[in-house]
Amino acid sequence: MTIDLTPDVRGAHGFDVEPWRFRREATEDERAAQAAHVRGHGWTLGEDCFVSPLAAVETEDLTLGDRSYVAAHAYVSGSVRLGADCTVNVNSVVRGDVRGGDGVRIGAHTSLLGFNHGTAPGVEVFRQPLTSRGIVVGDDVWIGSHVVVLDGVTVGDHAVLAAGAVVTRDVPAGAVVGGNPARRLRWRVPPAGATDDLAAALAAFADRARSQAADVLGRCWDPSLPGGQFLDRPGAGPTVRAQCDALEVAAYLLDGPPPQLPLEEQLGRLQSLQDPANGMVRRFDPDGAPLPGTPDPRDGDVLYHLLCVGYALDLHGRRFDHPVRHVARMDPAQLLRELRALPWTTRAWGAGAWVDAVGTGFRWNLDRGEPGVPGTLETLFGWLTLNADPRTGAWGSAAPGEGALQVVNGFYRASRGTFAQFGVPLPHPERLVDTVLAHLRDEQVFAADRRNACNVLDVAHPLWLAGKQTSHRRAEVVEAARGLLADALRTWRDGQGFAFAVGREPGLQGTEMWLAVLWLLADLCGFADVLGYRPRGVHRPEAAMSLRE
């Protein structure tokens, strides 16, 4: 007698646990049963899809492309949109705002969590507000079993997330990542230019910088200051910005917060610096204590704190406790008066910095659902668009003896807080490229012994931003970016980081800015992926939010 020991995969739960068989093996009755199951849910499903009746699908929006499936005991909620040939396997969790391309394979017991809880002290976690930046996954991505992908992560095309990985930051296209927190292990598909000598030098730098990140942060930590504080560099005075720079450097190189102080203490301190009356952020006095009184919105440091503190909090899913009331109270007429009074003809750089801060104030207010006086933000974009010089693509005039420095640097600041931050197209991108390339020939600013992080950032970002709209003079842009990149790599000092400028001591500000500059320049060259990080704070390349309703 022959005994058949082959499992009955056509049993009661065959397709539920092996849904890939549905397309090939399902009978007409089984197809009818599946159609009856999905009917009335409002899901958008392609051909030959399968959603197991044993899966918990509680979505506001579920879209699956052709031949995609959701297996038994998966939990799917929120807004989930996947392309063709995608899988959500047994016991997987896909929640929040999750977008996937074609061929995204999600292994068993894996979680994609496109939302997060606040963690402010003094309030139980279950009472904290939820935030969601969403998860975006490209095409042809294999996500192994027991992987966790956290909110805000973007996974590039052709990537592999190894079993058990905890993915806390973006994954470059073609990378194989693993571990907790996940790090690049190797390339499945090497990025363009990976065999380029400059790209190889950049990758070697990234490994070196990560191995030395703890030393870079540790040398700038002063436990004798109130609560323990970071300084920009040893011997410098205490500043709010140094705390934010430390958080950004750690996010780039350590995939987490600085280890010197619990994250909640670091974030709580930054939140406490905001004045509830006008929403601006205080400075420190020489002893490292917050200055009393209402912060002056005309103070340059106070204005910059809207950027550095706001984005340091945003890195970790937190936000200001109060709206930026100084911005929320502006009406269109007041804003026009302020814009016209700015020193565009003498100090366009400072004028751009004011616009940057105001635009960022709108960004934080909109995140709270507080858009301010109707028409004010539209007035800001309208004025900037109408007053952009069609000859330069920028605002303001060159100051005597400074060449185009004021115009270009002022453009960077004004556009960062408006067009870049909100994803709005630039008015004259080709002319902007012409202006920046001409400025790069100014030896007063860009001679090898005169460069600083600010001036290089202020050409790298405009070229990068304009490059999203135009390929004008592309070869020249890439050539310039390669030269700046090669020079910048030579200025890293082991265990100390980058100096803000040639001849200065390395510090947190220089390190944070140059790390962002390196990414922008490398992306212009086509091989930013070799760095293994992507700016996520003040210098994030993506728009922070869209103004489209």
Distance (Å, whole) CA 148 – CA 164: 7
Determine the pLDDT at residue 192.
64
Sign of CA dihedral 448, 397, 352, 419: negative
Distance (Å, whole) CA 398 – CA 123: 52
Domain 14-187 indexed as CATH 1.10.10.10: no
Nearest to 448 by CA among 380, 520, 503, 530: 503
Domain boundaries, the chain: 14-187, 197-531
Per-residue pLDDT reduced to its tens digit, 498-535: 999 988 999 999 999 999 999 999 999 988 988 988 89
Name the burial class of residue 39, with classes exposed (0-12), middle (13-18) and buried (19+) by CB atoms within 10 angstroms of its CB: exposed
Determine the pLDDT at residue 68.
94
- List Cβ neighbours of 330 (8 Å cut-off, separation of 6 or more): 338, 358, 372, 373, 376
Q: Which two tokens stand for residue 195?
A: 């065999």
Q: Which two tokens stand for residue 83?
A: 């392309």
Distance (Å, whole) CA 271 – CA 265: 10
* Ramachandran angles phi, psi of 482, nearest 5°: -65, -40
Q: Do the domains spanning 14-187 and 197-531 agree at the CATH topology level?
A: no
Which of 1.50.10, 1.10.10, 3.30.750, 1.10.3470 is the CATH number of 197-531?
Answer: 1.50.10
Per-residue pLDDT reduced to its tens digit, 260-294: 999 999 999 999 999 999 999 999 999 999 999 99
Cα-to-chain-centroid distance, residue 237: 29
- Residue whose structure tokens are 């406490």: 272
Q: Is 519 in contact with 251 (CB distance < 8 Å)?
A: no
Q: Is 304 in contact with 241 (CB distance < 8 Å)?
A: yes
Distance (Å, whole) CA 147 – CA 215: 30
Distances (CA, A) of 535 to 129, 311, 434: 25, 11, 26
Q: Residue 520: what residue type?
A: L
- First-last CA distance in the chain: 71
Q: DSSP for 395-462, please give it.
A: -S-PPTTSTTHHHHHHHHHHHIIIIIHHTPPPS-HHHHHHHHHHHTT-HHHHSTTT-BHHHHHHHHHH
Q: DSSP for 279-291, please give it.
A: --BPPB-TTSPBP
Distance (Å, whole) CA 166 – CA 228: 30
> pLDDT below 50 — which residues of the chain?
1-12
Question: Mapping DSSP to helix (H, G, I), strand (E, B) and coil, where does residue 132 land?
Answer: coil
Cα-to-chain-centroid distance, residue 490: 26
Distance (Å, whole) CA 406 – CA 345: 9
Determine the pLDDT at residue 118.
75
Distance (Å, whole) CA 311 – CA 308: 5
Sign of CA dihedral 199, 416, 534, 451: positive
Q: Is 270 in contact with 310 (CB distance < 8 Å)?
A: no
User: How many other C-beta atoms lie within 10 A of the C-beta of residue 529?
Assistant: 28
Q: DSSP for 199-262, please give it.
A: HHHHHHHHHHHHHHHHHHHHTTEETTSTT-EEBSSTTPPB-HHHHHHHHHHHHHHTSS--TTS-
Distance (Å, whole) CA 498 – CA 504: 9
